[in-house]
Structures are given as C-alpha cells and as structure tokens.
Amino acid sequence: MANLGFIGLGVMGSRMVKRLLAAGHTVRGYNRTRSKAVGLLDLGMRWGDTPAAVAQTADVVFSMVANTAALEAVTGGAQGVLAGLRAGMIFVDMSTVSPTASRTIAAQVAATGAHMLDAPVSGSVSTLEEGRLSFMVGGERAAYERVLPILQDIGPKVTYVGENGLAAAMKVATNLSLAVQMLAFSEGVLLAEKSGIARETAVEVLLNSVIASPMVKYRGPFVLGLPKEALFDVNMMQKDLLLALEMGRQLDVPLPTTAVTNELLTAARGMGLADKDFAVVFEVLAQLCGLKR
Amino acid sequence: MANLGFIGLGVMGSRMVKRLLAAGHTVRGYNRTRSKAVGLLDLGMRWGDTPAAVAQTADVVFSMVANTAALEAVTGGAQGVLAGLRAGMIFVDMSTVSPTASRTIAAQVAATGAHMLDAPVSGSVSTLEEGRLSFMVGGERAAYERVLPILQDIGPKVTYVGENGLAAAMKVATNLSLAVQMLAFSEGVLLAEKSGIARETAVEVLLNSVIASPMVKYRGPFVLGLPKEALFDVNMMQKDLLLALEMGRQLDVPLPTTAVTNELLTAARGMGLADKDFAVVFEVLAQLCGLKR
Amino acid sequence: MANLGFIGLGVMGSRMVKRLLAAGHTVRGYNRTRSKAVGLLDLGMRWGDTPAAVAQTADVVFSMVANTAALEAVTGGAQGVLAGLRAGMIFVDMSTVSPTASRTIAAQVAATGAHMLDAPVSGSVSTLEEGRLSFMVGGERAAYERVLPILQDIGPKVTYVGENGLAAAMKVATNLSLAVQMLAFSEGVLLAEKSGIARETAVEVLLNSVIASPMVKYRGPFVLGLPKEALFDVNMMQKDLLLALEMGRQLDVPLPTTAVTNELLTAARGMGLADKDFAVVFEVLAQLCGLKR
Amino acid sequence: MANLGFIGLGVMGSRMVKRLLAAGHTVRGYNRTRSKAVGLLDLGMRWGDTPAAVAQTADVVFSMVANTAALEAVTGGAQGVLAGLRAGMIFVDMSTVSPTASRTIAAQVAATGAHMLDAPVSGSVSTLEEGRLSFMVGGERAAYERVLPILQDIGPKVTYVGENGLAAAMKVATNLSLAVQMLAFSEGVLLAEKSGIARETAVEVLLNSVIASPMVKYRGPFVLGLPKEALFDVNMMQKDLLLALEMGRQLDVPLPTTAVTNELLTAARGMGLADKDFAVVFEVLAQLCGLKR
C-alpha cells in the first residue's frame, strides 16, 4: 500500500480519498477550509497544514481543485506542492485545467526531479461513488505505470494518452460534448413538448433511447427541475468550452456545435443564470419558444 | 399467442419477425422482394402476396419500411394494408415517418373501423438482436394496451406518448441528437488528434467517458474507418433532420445545434458522400482542418 | 408607349403604376380590393374587373403580389391572367416566389403562346420612390429585351440572369443577406451598448461605416423603435429564408449564417413577434442579453 | 495649422499623412522601416528617429499601427511615444486594438498630463483616398473637440462615442459585420451559381441590390479572383472576431452569426489560407459545395 498525499477535499476529492483509504492506503490530506476534512479524519486520514507539508511525507501526491488558478495556488509559493517534492516522487493532478498551464507546471515539477501526470476524470459524483469513474493520463509512461494501480482503486477505466498536457487536452475535447449533448437534448424535449407530448414522457423516452449517454441520464431529468445546488454550473461549463474554442483556434479545428452552444451559455449568463447547473440551457431555449419560466 | 402480419422484411423487420416467431406468434409476412423472406419462411413464417393479403388473415399488422413514401405505398391502393383491414384490428407502423403523414394514415385506418398506432423504435440492429430495442407509441390507449405484450417480445422498453402521430414526432425529436452528438464527438476527436493524441486513443477515451451514449459507442469507431455498407446514411439522417427543422418552424422551436449540424450534412452531400454512414461528418470536418482523406 | 396591364396594387405595385403612368404608358390595373385603386384611377389608370380582363386588353402584363399562393390565385382559374393571354404577349411577374412555382407557371404561360419573365426587385418603398429600384430578370432573352425599356421606367438597374426561374432564385439568394446582415448589425449594436456606448450613437457610427448597405441604412434605425406597420415582417422574411434553405439542400450548398439566423427568426415567432418587421431579431437578441423590452 | 506627429507610415498611415500635408499641417513622421517614408519626405514631411522624438516636437501625435502588440511597442520604453509626451498634448491612436489595452495606455498617457483618444477608422484604402473615411472617437470630449478639425482633414464623418476605449470597442462591434456579411454574400453567390446563374452575373446583381454595403462592393468581386496581396487577411479578420467574441463573453452578449463565421475562418486556416484576404471564406464554402478550387 502506498503513502499518499491529497490536495483538495471538495465534492469529488473527498470521495476519492474515501476510496483510497478503503483500499488500504495511507493518506495525508490538505484543504483550504479544514472543516471539510473532519469526516475524512474520522476515517483515518491524516492532516497536513500546507500542500508542501502534504508532499513532504508522501510518495505520490494527488490534487483535485476547481480550475487553473486554484492549481497554480496550491502548487506555487513557499507552501505549495512544488516546495515539498523530492526526486522520484509523482504528482498527479486530476483537475480540469488549461493544457498549457498543466504543461508549465509539469516542467516545474520536472525541475525538482519529480514527475507530474495530468489525470483528469470523466464522471460525476455518482459515477465516482459507484466506482465507475474513468481517467485519462498524460506524462511519462513509467510514472503512469507506477500510479496505475492506485488510480484503479478510484475508478477502473484508465487510458494513457501521451505526454504531459495531453490528458488535459483530452478532457477539454471530451467536455465540449457535455454541453452540446445537453442542448441537443433540450431541442428534442421542446420539440416533443410543443408537439403535445408531456415533458416527463419526452424525457423518459429519450432516457431509454440510443442517445442516452451517462451524462444525459444524469442531467436529462434536470429539465423537469434544476437541482438547488449546481455541481457544474454555467460558468464552469463555459470555462471548458472557452478552453476548447481557444485550442480550436490554435490548432485550426473548426468547432461548429461547440461555438453555437457556447453562445447559448452566454445567453444563460445574460439572463442571470450563470450559477445554475448548465442544464439551464433548456430554460434559455424554452424562453425562446415562448414558454415562460 | 397472436395472429400477426408483418410488412417490410429488411434489416430491421426481418430480425423483428425472428423474435416474434421465437416468442411463439404466428406471422404472415410480405416484402417487395420475396427473396429476402427465404430465411424467415424456413423459420415458419407464412407468406402473403400483398400487404392486403397479409392484413386479411391477421389480428395485428406491423409495418417497418424505409420512409413516408414507402409507408404510403404499402398502405394505399387495392393491394394495400388499408384494403385488408377489418373493424377491431390494429395496424402498428414502426417506421420513421413524418408525423403529419402518420396522422393522415391513422385517420384512413380509423375509417375502416381498425386502429392505428405509430410505434417507431430507438436502436440499431445490434440493439435489436440483444433484445434491448425501445419503442415509443402513439394512438388510442386501449389499442396500445392490447399490443403492448407483443411489442415487448421485440424489445423491453415501451413508452406510451399520447395520441396518433406523437410517437412519430417523438422519434424525430430523438433522432436530431444522433447527428448532433456525432458531430460534437467528431469535434472532440479532431481537437485531441491535432493536440497530438492518436485518433484511436481519443476514440477509446471518449467511449469510456460520460458522453458515450449507445449511439456514440456504436458509431464512434466509424471515425477510424467507415463501414462499407451504411445502415443509416447521410440522406436518411438528413431526412430526419429536415423533419425536425420543419416541425421546429411550425411549432416555433429554435433548433440551433440541429440547424448547424444539418448544414454539415449538406456539405457531406456537396462532397459526394451522401450514401456514406452519417458518421462521415467527421471527414467533412477533418477536411476543414486540413487533414486530407 | 406601351399598352400595359398590372395585377396587384399594394404598397409596391401602386407606386410602380404611378411611375409607369408618369412615363406615358397606358395601364389597366386590377386589385383584389378595388378601393386601393382610387388614387391611381384619378391619375388615369383604367380598371379591369379580373386579372383575365386586364390581360385581354394589354400587350405586357405585370404582377406584383405577396407570395407564391397569391401568384397562383391571380394566374389560375377562369378569371386568371392565363385565361387572358394571347400568343406573343409577355407576362412579367415581379413578386418574390418559389423558383419552382415560377417555372411551373412559366410553362403554363408558354402553352398559351405567350412568354413569362420572372423579374423580382431589390429595394424598399423608398428606393422605388427615388427611382433606384433594381431588377433581376429570368426568361427568354428576346422577351427580356422587349420589356427592358418599360422596366427601366420603374428602376434603372436591370440584370438579365438566365432562363425562367433563375431570377426568382437570384432573389432568394439576395434576400438571405437581408436577415443575416440585420442580425450581425444587432450583435454589433448590443456589443457596443453593453460596452457603455449609447444605442443611438452605436447606430449612428454603424450607419456611417463600410457595413452600411442600403438595407442597414433603412432598417438599422428600427432598433431604436420598430415601425408600427411592418412592410416586411418576420413571417415574410422567414418564408424567404426557408426558400433559401430548401434550395441549399437541393443543390448541396451549406448556408451556415442563413441557418443560424433562421433559428433566431423562429425564436421571434416563439416570442409572439411574428408580425413585426424582421428587424425585431434585435429584440430577441437583446432579451438573451438580459435587456428587458 | 497644427504641428503634428505621426507614427506608422504603412498603407493607411502614409495616405493619411498625405492628406494632412495637403491640408497645410506640419507633420513629423516615424516608421519602423524608414524606406517607406521616402515619398512622404519628398512631399514635405519631416523625419523623427523614434516615436519619442516625434512626440517631443508635436502638439498632437497620431498612430496607425497593425495591432495591440505594435501599439504597445511604439508607446512604451525609453524611445516610445509616452516618453515624449508633455502636459496638454493629445495622442490619437487610430489603430484597431483591444479596448482593454487602449484603456491601459490611456491611463499611462493621462499620467504624463497629456490626453489620449482612441479613434479607429471605418473604410479601406480607396475610401480613404476618396476622402470618405469615417472615424469613431473615445476619450475626453474637450480633447476630442480640439482634434476634430484635424481628423476632418482626413475624413468627413467623425462620431464621438464616449470615454476612453469605447471607440476601440465600437470598432470591434463594427468589424464583426464585415466577416458575417462576406460569408452571407458567399452563401448567396453559391446558391445562385448552383441554380445555374453565372458567378459573374450573381455578383453583379448582388452589387446592385440593397445588401451592397461599401464592404460588399469592395470585396464582393474578390469571389471572382482574390487579390494577390491581402490588405486584410484571415488572420487579421479573425483577430477582430476573437476580440468581439471575448467582449461578448465578458458582457454577456450572445453573437450567433459571429461565432459561426469565426469557425469558417478557422476552417480557412486549416486549409492553409490564413494569409489570403478574408473573402476567401467563399472558397471554403465552395469546397463544401463540391466546387473544386
């Protein structure tokens, strides 16, 4: 069993630590707000006062934070992960961040003699709890092979995609479909509804059809009522679409459905819905159909 | 066990008849080209020389044909299904056709004293063979309840959506997502590929991710090589998108991702790819990226 | 000077007749509602009780009606234009109609020994009054050359585009830009406005810029206040866009900006704005920005 | 007559200086490559070795450079414009740059006691030569009024839009229509062409129609043959569209036609056409129609 560090104990991170503890690993964790760690400490997790402190006592350090800025905050500075790394260690970032930023930090990690892997995930909280989360991993293959068994303790499907930053890129390439699928789903529901089919029935049929991806199965029912707390809101989704569109321009890849969907997310912001789950694109479209909220 | 008729013994229809025979039903079938029926006759299916002849000896008649024109061809005229219907019978059309046309034929069926149900399916040949096909059904509820057990012999998920024509509408509302999901998937693959990830790897990751609908799992690998024979080609897919766009205009439902995707299918036609599986939108986009075919 | 007939004395038609009378031509006119003809009768126009009657006494007959259905109504039947045509006459339709319908009527006209020209116009009421209306003409070149001087009495720019139906096609190809330019203009105004520039100022600058087509100059100020009566409403504009999209599909021409703009017009309908000038797309977009009407 | 400085003697800048000299002003000019100034020196322009040197001897300094980076290069550093400014002077930047960057430099200018105006133009070389260039101006109104007569010596239409940076924003809001109008124009030409109308004829009709903005009149004929040297290429146009899309996201303004057009420009880059005039979107679309280049 391995000696692990874990930075970021939010909705996703805390559940990952639970699975790692359950698999028998030793885990020292850090979170900006310590109060979120209480439950995990009861389960045997140790506490580290800073990201650097967590890194100093571990062989492999994981991070799972909100965005590029948060990753830069926990890695840099005197108390950051970088300050605690030693030669031969592995730092695995599972956050969804800009491929460019990920590559930059990977170079800084390499300068300490340690190795970085970008290992973003595909799946929601429920996928994670059911042990069906999937990973894509970028970085040195040898480092990948060392952490593979540990990643599999969190989720079974792990795919090595290539050098540093490529998994971050792959995540962005995956996430654009989340938003587009949700908007196309909304188009279908509204077409059915205005034809005379009850919205509930339309959703039921679509969830039984060949277009029902795990994302559609999870988020489709949100058109009947949005969750109070958004785990992935318009702002977060649009951040990913903007990363995709930026990459598309750099790499000369036209992204027609992504571009159109992004404008509808902008409309959601214009309508004051930026902090709702991104399934709220349904309501933007419904309003354009003349259906009042 | 019921006394059934079946019009249209193509790729889908023949496999449905197999399941109905296996469930113990008596089936009399008709197909424009009789040669396609040979295997089914060996399995015990009886032959009808015309759609009318098939209807005359059955209590419930099914049809599974290519499009609205084909449905009109097998229902109308002296030898059509309508000519063979009797009061109390049920005619179940499982084809994907225009909701308006379906409603018109339902009225003609009602004039004979029989009942019509529109019962289009969601799923491919493989879904059907695995017994996981799903149905949406429109028409009188009483008629629906009478045929429900028979439909379940073909596939387990059957949803009643409302009056005549609504299942046809629901099918169109479902199918728009097929094309949009495929285009968004293609955007993701090309973004990954131009980032430096092998196309095979990108496909593998996406097929393991939360965007992997049954459609994406089936058709995603086509970006590595199109099937020689298209079961659902650009022309067929675009027919469905045009039905969706037409409904959108009549019902005042904007369909942004559908409209954009439809233009890419038009481009596929412009590039001479109309008879390829609609997954060929990947190649249209690839060419716009400067990747040669 | 020629002996002319004129069917359709609406906003555009009546002003055309005025110019023809002023040029010294003899004109017999017909309109569904006779009351609209009073002013023209005062100017010397004669009255015809039916389209057929108008045709019988003329050498060249013009029509300027609302749409394809109206054209079919005034040409067909015992009292229609076709019933009054004689060999060698010319029938010039200036309405915006489906190219296919125009070709069908041209064939019927040819069967009488007369010739038809499709001669749709580009320009608004004010362009017409200023004598700057432009024409595109389809049909036999010899017939075109005979009516050319008469058309120039209405407007100076006349372009021969080819055989029957091609001018109708050219008109559709022109009109798609009306809607797209108006939507792009609206995007610019809202971007400026939300940056902090007064809407009036933004409009002024854009009207002085290189994007100020005659259409933009005429319709741009509508974003400051829609006219009470729409001369070209959402329904009429969308009719033209649908003709364009239909042609695009038949001819394999992808129309990305047209398709997207059409969905915004659909949204205008969904929001109950179908009978407003199509410049109302500005308000649809403004609402998506969170600007209340 | 005023004592002027002018930074940037390229295609536009040199012609502006000519007009200023012709109006009787004293002008000292600077350009990165001095050779481009020869003709202007013959006309009486004086030379400044650095932007700072130009500023030191002038009351009003103009700049007309390629982009944000070039503006930062000529304003900053020991030899930049800022180093040469004195209290009461006015610095007028006529380049198309990011509104944010323009505001930042305006603050630096204000710190020297001078005033900055952002005064981007609308119009091409030929508009400029015909004396019909138009300006939008942002900054202090008093400074605006002082330079107004000088700007009018270059072009007659000058509109004050508000505080610093707003004219830069207005320019971006204007330019998005350039690209969208060009793409919609291309859609129309191709629709006409595939209907059977000669491309030349289609262009002629459109140039006579109400959609013929000055931009369409200038650039429309490019679909018959691109100019050898692009004055405004795909890269430059896309830079402006990206500024627009970025502003749209910050200000919550959905830009549907801009977003779609931008993807077609990305396709142009993918096809290796980045350095062609942006009218090359026509060729991208033509290829999607199956028309070979």
Q: State the chains in contact with B (3 or more Cβ–Cβ pairs under 8 Å).
A: A, C, D
Q: Tell whether A185 and A266 lie within a shared domain.
A: yes
| pLDDT surpassing 90 at residue D288 | yes
Q: Tell whether C88 and C183 lie within a shared domain.
A: no
For residue A291, what is the nearest residue in chain B, using CA coordinates?
B253
Set of chain D residues whose Cβ sits within 8 Å of the Cβ of C213: 181, 210-213, 216
Interface test with C, best of D177, D185, D231, D291 (most C CBs within 10 A): D177
Measured over the CA atoms of residue B185, residue B191, residue B194 and residue B200, the dihedral's sign is negative
Q: How far is CA A267 from CA A273, A274, A285, C25, in A?
A: 9, 9, 10, 56
**Count of domains in chain B?**
2
Amino acid B257 reads T
Residue C93 lies in a domain: yes
What is the reported pLDDT for B1?
83
User: Which residues touch A112 (CB under 8 Å, ≥6 apart)?
Assistant: A82, A85, A86, A87
User: Which residues touch A15 (CB under 8 Å, ≥6 apart)?
Assistant: A125, A128, A129
Interface test with B, best of D257, D288, D289, D292 (most B CBs within 10 A): D288
Residue D233 lies in a domain: yes
Q: Could you give the angle at which helices D166-195 and C256-270 cross, rounded to 10 degrees? A: 110
Q: Tell whether C212 and C175 lie within a shared domain.
A: yes
Residue B145 lies in a domain: yes
B180 Cα to chain D: minimum distance (Å): 16
Q: Which of C267, A284, A245 is nearest to D260 (CA)?
A: A245
Whole-number mean pLDDT of chain C? 95
Q: How far is CA C42 from CA C36, C48, D289, in A?
A: 12, 15, 53
Q: Tell whether C118 and C7 lie within a shared domain.
A: yes
What is the reported pLDDT for B125?
86
Q: Tell whether B159 and B181 lie within a shared domain.
A: no
Which residues pair with residue B3 across a beta bridge?
A: B26
Interface of A with B in 227-246 (CB under 8 A): 244
Candidates B245, B248, B267; nearest CB to C254: B267
Tally helices (H) and strands (E) across chain A. 14, 9
Amino acid D212 reads A
Q: Which of D18, D13, D43 is nearest to D30 (CA)?
A: D13
Q: Tell whether A31 and A148 lie within a shared domain.
A: yes
State which of D102, D132, D163 marks the end of a domain: D163
Q: How confident is the model at residue C293 (pLDDT cuts 50, 70, 90)?
A: low
Q: Tell whether A79 and A217 lie within a shared domain.
A: no
Q: How confident is the model at residue B209 (pLDDT cuts 50, 70, 90)?
A: very high
Residue B293 lies in a domain: no
User: Strand (E) positions, A87-234?
Assistant: 90-93, 115-118, 121-122, 134-138, 157-162
Q: Could D181 and C176 be called an inter-chain contact, meaning their C-beta atoms sit closer than 8 Å?
A: no
Q: How confident is the model at residue B293 (pLDDT cuts 50, 70, 90)?
A: low
Q: Tell whether C142 and C108 lie within a shared domain.
A: yes
Q: Which two tokens stand for residue B73?
A: 């061809």
The pairing of beta strand D60-63 with beta strand D90-93: parallel
Residue A287 forms contact with C (CB below 8 Å): yes
pTM: predicted TM-score of the whole model, two decimal places: 0.92
D269 Cα to chain A: minimum distance (Å): 6
| pLDDT surpassing 70 at residue D293 | no
Set of chain B residues whose Cβ sits within 8 Å of the Cβ of D260: 260
Q: Tell whether B216 and B238 lie within a shared domain.
A: yes
Phi, psi of B27 (to 5 degrees): -130, 130
Residue B123 forms contact with A (CB below 8 Å): yes
Residue D284 forms contact with B (CB below 8 Å): yes
Interface test with A, best of C260, C288, C289 (most A CBs within 10 A): C288
Spatial distance between the Cα atoms of D159 and C205, rounded to a whole number of angstroms: 6
Set of chain D residues whose Cβ sits within 8 Å of the Cβ of A252: 266-267, 269-270
Residue D253 forms contact with B (CB below 8 Å): no
Q: State the chains in contact with C (3 or more Cβ–Cβ pairs under 8 Å).
A: A, B, D
Residue D200 forms contact with A (CB below 8 Å): no
Residue A137 forms contact with B (CB below 8 Å): no
Q: What is the CATH number of the domain that holds D179?
A: 1.10.1040.10
| pLDDT surpassing 80 at residue B144 | yes
The reply to whether C217 belongs to the active site is no
Interface test with B, best of C180, C238, C247, C252 (most B CBs within 10 A): C252
| pLDDT surpassing 90 at residue B147 | yes
Q: Which two tokens stand for residue B278?
A: 């609609």
What is the reported pLDDT for C72?
96
Q: Could D271 and B260 be called an inter-chain contact, meaning their C-beta atoms sit closer than 8 Å?
A: no
Residue D197 forms contact with C (CB below 8 Å): yes
Interface of B with A in 54-73 (CB under 8 A): none
Domain residues for the domain of A99 are: 3-163
Residue B134 forms contact with A (CB below 8 Å): yes
Residue B248 lies in a domain: yes
Q: Of A18, A171, A239, A276, which is the active-site residue?
A: A171
Determine the Cα angle at B17 with ends B14 and B19, to 5°: 115
Q: Tell whether B71 and B202 lie within a shared domain.
A: no
Set of chain C residues whose Cβ sits within 8 Å of the Cβ of D99: 195
State which of D144, D163, D182 marks the end of a domain: D163
State which of C102, C132, C163 marks the end of a domain: C163
Phi, psi of D271 (to 5 degrees): -90, 10
Candidates C270, C271, C288; nearest CB to A267: C288
Q: Which of B153, B160, B144 is nearest to B2 (CA)?
A: B153
Q: Tell whether B91 and B175 lie within a shared domain.
A: no
Spatial distance between the Cα atoms of A183 and A60, rounded to a whole number of angstroms: 39
Q: Tell whether A63 and A157 lie within a shared domain.
A: yes
B279 Cα to chain D: minimum distance (Å): 16
Set of chain B residues whose Cβ sits within 8 Å of the Cβ of C254: 263-264, 266-267, 270
For residue C261, what is the nearest residue in chain A, using CA coordinates?
A260
Task: Express each pLDDT in D24-54 by its tens digit.
Answer: 999 999 999 999 999 999 999 999 999 999 9
Residue C293 lies in a domain: no
| pLDDT surpassing 70 at residue C195 | yes
Q: Of D18, D36, D157, D171, which is the active-site residue?
A: D171
For residue C263, what is the nearest residue in chain B, using CA coordinates?
B254
Q: What is the CATH number of the domain that holds C81?
A: 3.40.50.720
What is the reported pLDDT for C127?
86
Residue A205 lies in a domain: yes
**Polymer length in residues for chain B:** 293
Which residues pair with residue C26 across a beta bridge?
A: C3
Task: Express each pLDDT in B246-281 by its tens digit.
Answer: 999 999 999 999 999 999 999 999 999 999 999 999
Provide the 8-state DSSP code for C67.
Answer: S
Mean pLDDT by 10 residues, chain A (293 residues): 94 96 97 93 96 96 94 96 97 94 96 97 88 94 97 95 96 97 98 97 96 96 94 92 94 96 96 96 95 73
Residue A293 lies in a domain: no
